[in-house]
Amino acid sequence: MEVLTGLDRDRIAGLLQHDEFFWLDLTAPADEDLEQLADLLGLEARAARDLEESFRLPRLDTFDEYVLLVYFGIGGASRDAFEPIEVRMVISGSYIVTLHHERCEMLERLGEHLRSRPGAPESVVVYKVLDALTDSFFEALDKVDEEIEDLESKVLDRPHRSQLQKLVELKNRLVPMRKIASRQRNVLARAGDEIAGLPGFEARPHDFQDIFQRMISVSELIDSSRDVLTGAQDVYLSSVTERLTLVATIFFPLTVLTGFFGMNFGWMVKHIDSFTSFAILGLGGMVALTTVVLGLFLRAGYIGPRRRGYH
């Protein structure tokens, strides 16, 4: 089994002639390269057109001798961690061709690994390609979990509007990932049988069933992450509401106090007739009342070092 990264017509023709399975991985191929590839593999016109198009969701098209599979991975070392990457595949009993517009590090790593295992059967190669792309979802979701954990601790410590914006951004970025994972899961439900039934393909059906189960896990993890993000948003709103309530509670007795001294009782008019009296009874009363309220909050754990324990 050979791994090719360039359109070597003579080499590909020789491998096809000797019925030696190979993997051709092309990055950003030109239109003329796709035309030559379609002619070299004997693809039907509809399949050749599909190779030139880009799709936003996974799909599977079946033909007599091969299948056309559009599959997605997520992220990569040179790309955004949550950005999908589309990989168009042509799979037959003689070859697997993978095409992508951008560099795909997970397939590059797999290619280097498979070059050291030239005797790998076709079913293992196809499985490994799908597995590498599927694994990228788990890597992206691990990063989502790390960001959520960091944001949750910050929200509990000192909520800020930027944290809410980040939570909403993360939740929105999971939407396309969820849509792709759901569609990919449905495609895999029938892709395994279609690939295993290809002429000359040495199938290991349980491999494709394993990929299908992993995509189900991906869908469940995405839903779980969305639920956690929603919970973190609720914690943020609860923390902000609590802080506003504390401020309002502090000012409420002060409002009562100032309202009381604002009434024209004869005693107050006669006795609060100097700055000293005003400072002691007026300003001093507000300071004392505020100190008492803050002391009660501190003792109850609503503010100060016990706040974390309260949450």
We report the CATH number of the domain holding residue 57 as 3.30.460.20
Q: What is the pLDDT of residues 95-120, one digit of tens each?
A: 999 999 999 999 999 999 988 776 77
Task: Tell me, yes or no, whether 103 and 247 share the same domain.
Answer: no
Q: What is the pLDDT of residues 197-254, one digit of tens each?
A: 888 887 766 778 889 999 999 999 999 988 888 888 887 777 766 666 656 666 666 6
pLDDT of residue 160: 78
pLDDT of residue 283: 67
Task: Tell me, yes or no, whether 132 and 269 share the same domain.
Answer: no
Identify the domain boundary among 207, 236, 265.
236
Identify the domain boundary among 213, 236, 259.
236
pLDDT of residue 40: 92
pLDDT of residue 309: 38
Distance CA 12, CA 19 (A): 10
**Structural domain of 184:** 2-236
Task: Tell me, yes or no, whether 45 and 139 share the same domain.
Answer: yes
pTM of this structure? 0.76
pLDDT of residue 300: 58
In 75-200, the DSSP E strands lie at: 84-92, 95-100
Task: Tell me, yes or no, whether 214 and 279 share the same domain.
Answer: no
Task: Tell me, yes or no, whether 249 and 230 share the same domain.
Answer: no
Secondary structure letter of residue 176 according to DSSP: H
Task: Tell me, yes or no, whether 184 and 301 share the same domain.
Answer: no
pLDDT of residue 121: 80
Neighbouring residues of 264: CB distance < 8 A, sequence distance ≥ 6: none
Task: Tell me, yes or no, whether 159 and 250 share the same domain.
Answer: no
Segments of the chain with pLDDT less than 50? 306-311
Pairing of strands 59-62, 66-74: antiparallel
pLDDT of residue 165: 86
Task: Tell me, yes or no, whether 126 and 140 share the same domain.
Answer: yes
Task: Tell me, yes or no, whether 265 and 152 share the same domain.
Answer: no
Q: How many domains does the chain fold into?
A: 2
Angle between helices 284-300 and 205-261 (to 10 degrees): 150
Task: Tell me, yes or no, whether 249 and 207 share the same domain.
Answer: no
Task: Tell me, yes or no, whether 168 and 210 share the same domain.
Answer: yes
pLDDT of residue 107: 94
